[in-house]
Amino acid sequence: MKALKFISAALALCFLALPVWAEVKIREVVSPGGITAWLVEDHSIPFTALELRFRGGTSLDQPGKRGATYLMAGLLEEGAGGLAAQDYARELESLAARFSYDADRDTVSISAQFLSENRAEAVDLLRLTIHEPRFDQDALDRVRAQVLAGLRSDEKDPNEIASRAFSKMAFGDHPYGSEGEGTIDSVSALTRQDMFDAHEAAFARDRLFVGAVGDITAEELGALLDELLGDLPATGAPIPGPAEVGIDGGVTVIDYDTPQSVALFGHVGIDLDDPRYFAAYLLNQVLGGGSFNSRLMTEVREKRGLTYGVYSYLVPRDLAAVYMGSVASDNSKIAETVEVIQTEWARLATEGVTEKELADAKTYLTGAYPLRFDGNSRIASILAGMQMDDLPIDYVVTRNDKVNAVTLEEVNRVAREILLPEKLHFVVVGRPEGLQSTN
């Protein structure tokens, strides 16, 4: 019962935020051993959130080993050191701590939350996770079965079918061209040694980024980092080079028996470090960034009733950037939906946005930004992400000013430069009426 009470308290503390987002004071901390982290110190609650990011992610998978990094990340909670999976879980529960692990195309991430009174013991347990994973065969078989079940489900999911097809066309043989979860064949063939190899490739100090928020001082954080991460290898496996976005304009129809077609569309995008990015960000908000007032929502949903929702989004990954969108519509309506999206994409490229649209987009984006800082764990994640994106430490203070500084002339110039209607490619999964593949 005592453990359950501690866990309830810990989970509640995970979602407590700092008082005012504008008062977030970020400090750079360098441990005695030379590990850098960003810290937001707050002693109002006896709780700390720690976010560890390792660049590379599932793109580090070796040829023929697709899915190894993803499966490895899923096994990190399945025992470490002298603790088998159940013993590890009981120890974590007794500490009222929470660890979670994930891997995507660019990152392997570890999120940890623990109470101040259990900090030393929680860090010791987390250290075992990072340095001495067991990868026991029974745990490997169990987690592999879960991944395979997900992959089999994905084979019947129109959205996943579209995503996989678009990625393959856009990125070819680059790791971005296939899903990091792997395939049924590749995951089925992975061995225990492959898990150790993937672990060795991913965890190294040359690709590490750390965010910490909560009841911990800079000196305490420095000592924690050296204890937790100081023994990591200096370098990991080489990260693949940039991916060329090879997709061209047109339509690809993938036959699938469903009453509603799903479409994924896009072309080459814009990098996060491009000086035009804030203008592109505002431009996308006008086009289809999630608001019911966007151009695509107005034209496709409100005026014509062709869909429940249509969206566009910038995807600036580490090794390539794409500009994408998604929509679903009845098979009898998807051809018209595609036509309307193509028209709006071209119209915005030539005519640009209006002064009111730009003002509304600024109001929405600057107003929504503080809502991201809604808990210590979220803030720790933001800190690590900012470092990975090479953003300045004062970005949280200056970000809205950068958004507001974008002019109408700048947005419309960027619209002409990055909206490429002739390059826009649609992958449609379903049985669309009046729509055929053009390639």
pLDDT tens profile 131-151: 999 999 999 999 999 999 999
Rg (CA), the chain: 23
User: Kind and range of the H or E element at 265?
Assistant: strand 260-268
Are 27 and 39 in contact by the 8 Å Cβ rule? The answer is: yes
- pLDDT given for residue 202 in this prediction: 98
- pLDDT given for residue 23 in this prediction: 66
- pLDDT given for residue 22 in this prediction: 52
- pLDDT given for residue 389 in this prediction: 97
Regions of the chain with pLDDT less than 50: 1-20
- pLDDT given for residue 290 in this prediction: 79
Are 133 and 75 in contact by the 8 Å Cβ rule? The answer is: yes
Tokens of 430: 């379903």
DSSP, collapsed to helix, strand or coil, labels residue 55 as: strand
Please report, for residues 68, 243, 354, the alpha-carbon distance to residue 167 in angstroms, rounded to integers and kept in the order given: 19, 11, 33
- pLDDT given for residue 13 in this prediction: 45
Q: Which residue in 336, 361, 335 sits closest to 348, CA to CA?
A: 361
- pLDDT given for residue 24 in this prediction: 80
Could you tell me the pTM of the whole model? 0.92
- pLDDT given for residue 7 in this prediction: 42
- pLDDT given for residue 4 in this prediction: 40
